[in-house]
Amino acid sequence: MAISHHIKDIGRGAAGARALSRDAAADLLGQILDGHCSDLEIGAFCVAMRIKGETPEEMAGFLDALDARLHKLPASTRPVVVLPSYNGARKLPVLTPLLAALLAREGLPVLIHGWATEERRVSTQEVLAAGGVQPQSTDSAIACGQWRFVTTESLHAGLRRLLDVRRAIGLRNPAHSLVKLMNPVRGAALVVGSYTHPEYAESMAATFQLMGSSAMLLRGTEGEPVADARRSPRMALFLQGTPHGVHEAQAGPLSALPTLPDTIDAHSTHQFIAAVLAGEIAVPAPIAAQVGHIVRACEALEAATQPTPPRRLAA
Protein backbone atom coordinates (compact mmCIF):
# COMPACT_ATOMS: atom_id res chain seq x y z
CA MET A 1 0.00 0.00 0.00
CA ALA A 2 1.14 3.56 -0.68
CA ILE A 3 -0.25 7.07 -0.72
CA SER A 4 1.71 8.40 -3.72
CA HIS A 5 -1.35 8.15 -6.00
CA HIS A 6 -3.35 10.22 -3.51
CA ILE A 7 -0.56 12.82 -3.29
CA LYS A 8 -0.57 13.08 -7.10
CA ASP A 9 -4.25 14.08 -6.94
CA ILE A 10 -3.97 16.63 -4.13
CA GLY A 11 -0.45 17.92 -4.84
CA ARG A 12 -0.86 19.61 -8.23
CA GLY A 13 -1.14 23.11 -6.80
CA ALA A 14 -4.10 25.28 -5.90
CA ALA A 15 -5.42 25.31 -9.48
CA GLY A 16 -4.64 21.75 -10.62
CA ALA A 17 -5.28 19.71 -7.49
CA ARG A 18 -8.27 17.37 -7.39
CA ALA A 19 -10.33 16.68 -4.30
CA LEU A 20 -10.33 13.13 -2.94
CA SER A 21 -13.46 11.06 -2.59
CA ARG A 22 -14.55 10.22 0.95
CA ASP A 23 -13.28 6.64 0.58
CA ALA A 24 -9.93 7.76 -0.84
CA ALA A 25 -9.48 10.27 1.98
CA ALA A 26 -10.21 7.55 4.53
CA ASP A 27 -7.64 5.26 2.90
CA LEU A 28 -5.00 8.00 2.84
CA LEU A 29 -5.34 9.07 6.46
CA GLY A 30 -5.72 5.48 7.64
CA GLN A 31 -2.31 4.61 6.20
CA ILE A 32 -0.77 7.67 7.84
CA LEU A 33 -2.31 6.91 11.24
CA ASP A 34 -1.24 3.28 11.03
CA GLY A 35 2.39 4.26 10.49
CA HIS A 36 2.67 2.97 6.92
CA CYS A 37 4.07 6.22 5.48
CA SER A 38 7.53 7.76 5.49
CA ASP A 39 8.23 11.19 6.93
CA LEU A 40 8.67 12.44 3.35
CA GLU A 41 5.20 11.19 2.36
CA ILE A 42 3.60 12.72 5.45
CA GLY A 43 5.30 16.05 4.79
CA ALA A 44 4.12 16.00 1.18
CA PHE A 45 0.56 15.25 2.34
CA CYS A 46 0.59 18.10 4.85
CA VAL A 47 1.98 20.69 2.42
CA ALA A 48 -0.32 19.59 -0.41
CA MET A 49 -3.43 19.80 1.78
CA ARG A 50 -2.33 23.17 3.16
CA ILE A 51 -2.13 24.58 -0.37
CA LYS A 52 -5.27 22.91 -1.69
CA GLY A 53 -7.52 23.15 1.38
CA GLU A 54 -9.85 20.42 2.62
CA THR A 55 -13.34 19.74 1.27
CA PRO A 56 -16.13 18.56 3.60
CA GLU A 57 -16.10 15.16 1.82
CA GLU A 58 -12.36 14.80 2.47
CA MET A 59 -12.82 15.78 6.11
CA ALA A 60 -15.62 13.21 6.41
CA GLY A 61 -13.29 10.54 5.01
CA PHE A 62 -10.51 11.56 7.38
CA LEU A 63 -12.99 11.39 10.27
CA ASP A 64 -14.11 7.92 9.11
CA ALA A 65 -10.51 6.71 9.29
CA LEU A 66 -9.92 8.34 12.65
CA ASP A 67 -13.19 7.09 14.15
CA ALA A 68 -12.24 3.49 13.36
CA ARG A 69 -8.92 3.87 15.18
CA LEU A 70 -9.53 6.14 18.18
CA HIS A 71 -9.20 4.76 21.69
CA LYS A 72 -12.63 6.07 22.65
CA LEU A 73 -14.02 6.66 26.11
CA PRO A 74 -17.01 4.51 27.08
CA ALA A 75 -20.45 6.08 26.80
CA SER A 76 -21.82 8.03 29.75
CA THR A 77 -25.42 8.01 30.91
CA ARG A 78 -25.92 11.50 29.46
CA PRO A 79 -24.41 13.12 26.34
CA VAL A 80 -20.77 14.01 26.95
CA VAL A 81 -19.76 17.60 26.21
CA VAL A 82 -16.49 17.40 24.26
CA LEU A 83 -14.14 20.39 24.49
CA PRO A 84 -11.15 20.19 22.11
CA SER A 85 -8.34 22.40 23.44
CA TYR A 86 -5.46 22.88 21.00
CA ASN A 87 -4.87 26.61 20.46
CA GLY A 88 -4.04 27.83 23.94
CA ALA A 89 -3.62 31.43 25.06
CA ARG A 90 -1.77 34.12 23.12
CA LYS A 91 -3.33 37.39 24.33
CA LEU A 92 -6.28 36.27 26.48
CA PRO A 93 -6.38 33.70 29.29
CA VAL A 94 -7.39 30.18 28.23
CA LEU A 95 -10.69 29.61 30.05
CA THR A 96 -11.59 26.20 28.64
CA PRO A 97 -11.19 24.60 32.11
CA LEU A 98 -13.69 27.14 33.49
CA LEU A 99 -16.24 26.17 30.85
CA ALA A 100 -15.72 22.49 31.68
CA ALA A 101 -16.23 23.05 35.40
CA LEU A 102 -19.37 25.17 34.87
CA LEU A 103 -20.90 22.51 32.61
CA ALA A 104 -20.10 19.78 35.13
CA ARG A 105 -21.90 21.85 37.78
CA GLU A 106 -24.98 21.56 35.57
CA GLY A 107 -24.80 17.78 35.88
CA LEU A 108 -23.21 17.02 32.51
CA PRO A 109 -20.21 14.74 31.88
CA VAL A 110 -17.46 16.79 30.23
CA LEU A 111 -14.33 15.76 28.35
CA ILE A 112 -11.43 18.09 27.54
CA HIS A 113 -8.92 16.60 25.12
CA GLY A 114 -5.87 18.43 23.89
CA TRP A 115 -2.22 18.78 23.02
CA ALA A 116 0.10 21.77 23.00
CA THR A 117 0.66 22.52 19.29
CA GLU A 118 2.41 25.87 19.69
CA GLU A 119 5.25 26.41 22.14
CA ARG A 120 4.68 30.16 22.52
CA ARG A 121 1.13 29.77 23.86
CA VAL A 122 -0.15 28.80 27.31
CA SER A 123 -2.02 25.51 27.01
CA THR A 124 -5.00 24.16 28.92
CA GLN A 125 -2.75 21.35 30.13
CA GLU A 126 -0.42 23.91 31.75
CA VAL A 127 -3.34 25.67 33.46
CA LEU A 128 -4.65 22.37 34.78
CA ALA A 129 -1.19 21.37 35.98
CA ALA A 130 -0.99 24.66 37.92
CA GLY A 131 -4.03 23.41 39.84
CA GLY A 132 -2.60 19.94 40.36
CA VAL A 133 -4.73 18.27 37.65
CA GLN A 134 -2.93 15.73 35.48
CA PRO A 135 -4.15 13.92 32.33
CA GLN A 136 -6.40 10.98 33.06
CA SER A 137 -7.26 7.64 31.50
CA THR A 138 -9.66 6.97 28.64
CA ASP A 139 -10.63 3.55 30.03
CA SER A 140 -13.71 4.50 32.06
CA ALA A 141 -16.87 6.50 31.44
CA ILE A 142 -17.15 10.05 32.77
CA ALA A 143 -19.78 10.35 35.49
CA CYS A 144 -22.47 13.00 35.27
CA GLY A 145 -21.34 16.17 37.01
CA GLN A 146 -17.65 15.34 36.45
CA TRP A 147 -15.06 16.52 33.93
CA ARG A 148 -11.88 14.91 32.70
CA PHE A 149 -8.80 15.91 30.72
CA VAL A 150 -7.12 13.42 28.37
CA THR A 151 -4.24 13.96 25.97
CA THR A 152 -4.38 13.35 22.23
CA GLU A 153 -1.64 10.78 22.73
CA SER A 154 -4.01 8.63 24.79
CA LEU A 155 -6.69 8.82 22.08
CA HIS A 156 -4.36 7.94 19.21
CA ALA A 157 -0.58 8.24 19.09
CA GLY A 158 -0.58 8.58 15.28
CA LEU A 159 -2.90 11.57 15.49
CA ARG A 160 -0.59 13.25 17.99
CA ARG A 161 2.37 12.64 15.66
CA LEU A 162 0.47 14.26 12.80
CA LEU A 163 -0.25 17.32 14.97
CA ASP A 164 3.45 17.54 15.80
CA VAL A 165 4.38 17.87 12.12
CA ARG A 166 3.53 21.55 12.58
CA ARG A 167 6.58 21.94 14.80
CA ALA A 168 8.79 20.69 11.96
CA ILE A 169 7.34 22.53 8.95
CA GLY A 170 5.50 25.44 10.57
CA LEU A 171 2.17 24.78 8.84
CA ARG A 172 -1.17 23.44 10.06
CA ASN A 173 -2.52 20.27 8.46
CA PRO A 174 -5.91 18.48 8.46
CA ALA A 175 -5.22 17.01 11.91
CA HIS A 176 -5.67 20.47 13.42
CA SER A 177 -9.23 20.54 12.10
CA LEU A 178 -9.95 16.87 12.79
CA VAL A 179 -9.35 17.23 16.52
CA LYS A 180 -12.02 19.95 16.63
CA LEU A 181 -14.57 17.83 14.77
CA MET A 182 -14.11 14.31 16.14
CA ASN A 183 -16.18 12.55 18.77
CA PRO A 184 -13.83 10.53 21.02
CA VAL A 185 -16.73 8.96 22.98
CA ARG A 186 -18.54 5.74 22.05
CA GLY A 187 -21.94 7.13 22.94
CA ALA A 188 -23.84 10.39 22.50
CA ALA A 189 -21.77 13.57 22.64
CA LEU A 190 -21.99 17.26 21.86
CA VAL A 191 -18.73 18.48 20.32
CA VAL A 192 -17.93 22.17 20.89
CA GLY A 193 -16.03 23.12 17.75
CA SER A 194 -14.25 26.45 17.42
CA TYR A 195 -12.57 28.32 14.60
CA THR A 196 -10.32 31.33 14.12
CA HIS A 197 -11.05 32.32 10.49
CA PRO A 198 -14.47 32.63 8.79
CA GLU A 199 -13.65 30.13 6.03
CA TYR A 200 -13.27 27.39 8.64
CA ALA A 201 -16.74 28.20 9.98
CA GLU A 202 -18.22 27.23 6.62
CA SER A 203 -16.18 24.06 6.16
CA MET A 204 -16.72 22.87 9.75
CA ALA A 205 -20.47 23.49 9.50
CA ALA A 206 -20.63 21.51 6.26
CA THR A 207 -18.67 18.65 7.83
CA PHE A 208 -20.89 18.51 10.92
CA GLN A 209 -23.92 18.28 8.64
CA LEU A 210 -22.34 15.62 6.44
CA MET A 211 -21.35 13.52 9.45
CA GLY A 212 -24.72 13.93 11.20
CA SER A 213 -22.88 15.33 14.21
CA SER A 214 -24.29 16.95 17.32
CA ALA A 215 -22.18 20.01 17.95
CA MET A 216 -21.87 23.67 18.83
CA LEU A 217 -19.83 25.85 16.49
CA LEU A 218 -18.48 29.26 17.46
CA ARG A 219 -15.55 31.58 16.97
CA GLY A 220 -13.96 30.77 20.29
CA THR A 221 -11.35 32.65 22.26
CA GLU A 222 -8.24 32.50 20.05
CA GLY A 223 -9.46 29.16 18.68
CA GLU A 224 -10.37 27.61 22.04
CA PRO A 225 -13.94 26.22 22.46
CA VAL A 226 -14.93 28.83 25.05
CA ALA A 227 -16.76 32.06 24.22
CA ASP A 228 -14.80 35.30 24.37
CA ALA A 229 -15.37 36.66 27.88
CA ARG A 230 -15.55 40.23 26.54
CA ARG A 231 -18.03 39.93 23.67
CA SER A 232 -20.42 37.09 22.89
CA PRO A 233 -19.81 35.45 19.49
CA ARG A 234 -22.37 33.85 17.22
CA MET A 235 -23.12 30.28 18.27
CA ALA A 236 -24.70 27.66 16.02
CA LEU A 237 -25.95 24.22 17.02
CA PHE A 238 -26.14 21.01 15.05
CA LEU A 239 -28.36 18.24 16.40
CA GLN A 240 -27.65 15.02 14.54
CA GLY A 241 -26.50 17.11 11.60
CA THR A 242 -29.45 19.53 11.48
CA PRO A 243 -28.33 23.16 11.94
CA HIS A 244 -29.94 25.53 14.43
CA GLY A 245 -28.82 29.13 14.94
CA VAL A 246 -29.19 29.81 18.64
CA HIS A 247 -27.19 32.91 19.50
CA GLU A 248 -26.27 35.94 17.40
CA ALA A 249 -23.02 37.81 17.88
CA GLN A 250 -23.12 40.72 20.29
CA ALA A 251 -23.25 43.99 18.35
CA GLY A 252 -22.37 47.56 19.24
CA PRO A 253 -19.87 48.97 21.71
CA LEU A 254 -19.20 47.22 25.00
CA SER A 255 -20.79 48.90 27.99
CA ALA A 256 -18.37 47.25 30.43
CA LEU A 257 -15.46 44.85 30.42
CA PRO A 258 -15.51 41.69 32.57
CA THR A 259 -12.95 41.08 35.27
CA LEU A 260 -10.06 39.12 33.77
CA PRO A 261 -6.57 38.31 35.04
CA ASP A 262 -3.87 40.82 34.17
CA THR A 263 -1.57 38.14 32.73
CA ILE A 264 -2.20 34.91 30.82
CA ASP A 265 0.33 32.65 32.56
CA ALA A 266 -0.92 29.30 33.83
CA HIS A 267 -0.82 30.17 37.55
CA SER A 268 -2.75 33.44 37.17
CA THR A 269 -5.34 31.77 34.95
CA HIS A 270 -5.81 28.95 37.45
CA GLN A 271 -6.29 31.42 40.29
CA PHE A 272 -8.85 33.37 38.27
CA ILE A 273 -10.83 30.21 37.42
CA ALA A 274 -10.80 29.16 41.09
CA ALA A 275 -12.11 32.59 42.11
CA VAL A 276 -14.96 32.41 39.59
CA LEU A 277 -15.94 28.91 40.74
CA ALA A 278 -15.86 30.09 44.36
CA GLY A 279 -18.28 32.92 43.53
CA GLU A 280 -15.73 35.64 44.22
CA ILE A 281 -15.80 36.85 40.60
CA ALA A 282 -18.87 36.78 38.35
CA VAL A 283 -18.97 34.33 35.45
CA PRO A 284 -18.44 36.41 32.27
CA ALA A 285 -21.84 36.81 30.58
CA PRO A 286 -20.82 35.31 27.20
CA ILE A 287 -19.56 32.15 28.92
CA ALA A 288 -22.71 31.92 31.05
CA ALA A 289 -24.79 32.18 27.87
CA GLN A 290 -22.71 29.45 26.23
CA VAL A 291 -23.24 27.16 29.21
CA GLY A 292 -27.00 27.66 28.98
CA HIS A 293 -27.09 26.86 25.26
CA ILE A 294 -25.00 23.71 25.73
CA VAL A 295 -27.19 22.47 28.58
CA ARG A 296 -30.35 22.93 26.50
CA ALA A 297 -28.72 21.32 23.48
CA CYS A 298 -27.79 18.25 25.54
CA GLU A 299 -31.35 18.03 26.84
CA ALA A 300 -32.64 18.18 23.26
CA LEU A 301 -30.13 15.53 22.19
CA GLU A 302 -31.22 13.28 25.04
CA ALA A 303 -34.86 13.66 24.02
CA ALA A 304 -34.03 12.94 20.37
CA THR A 305 -32.08 9.79 21.17
CA GLN A 306 -34.43 8.30 23.76
CA PRO A 307 -35.95 5.03 22.53
CA THR A 308 -39.62 5.38 21.67
CA PRO A 309 -41.78 3.31 24.05
CA PRO A 310 -43.88 0.64 22.35
CA ARG A 311 -47.45 1.65 21.61
CA ARG A 312 -50.10 -0.22 23.55
CA LEU A 313 -52.73 -1.76 21.37
CA ALA A 314 -56.35 -1.24 22.33
CA ALA A 315 -58.07 -4.33 23.69
Report the CATH number of the 80-305 domain.
3.40.1030.10
Q: What is the DSSP letter of 222?
A: G
**Cα gap 12→90, rounded to integer Å:** 35
Domain boundaries, the chain: 4-67, 80-305
pLDDT in tens, the chain (315 residues): 578 889 988 988 777 889 999 999 999 999 999 999 999 999 999 999 999 999 999 999 999 999 999 999 999 999 999 999 999 999 999 999 999 999 999 999 999 999 988 778 999 999 999 999 999 999 999 999 999 999 999 999 999 999 999 988 988 999 999 999 999 999 999 999 999 888 889 999 999 999 999 999 999 999 999 999 998 899 999 999 999 877 787 777 766 778 899 899 999 999 999 999 999 999 999 999 999 999 999 999 999 877 655 555 544
Q: Are 38 and 68 in contact (CB under 8 A)?
A: no
Q: What is the pTM of this model?
A: 0.93
CATH 1.20.970.10 fits 4-67, yes or no: yes
- Give the list of residues 6+ apart from residue 262 with CB closer than 8 angstroms, or none: 268
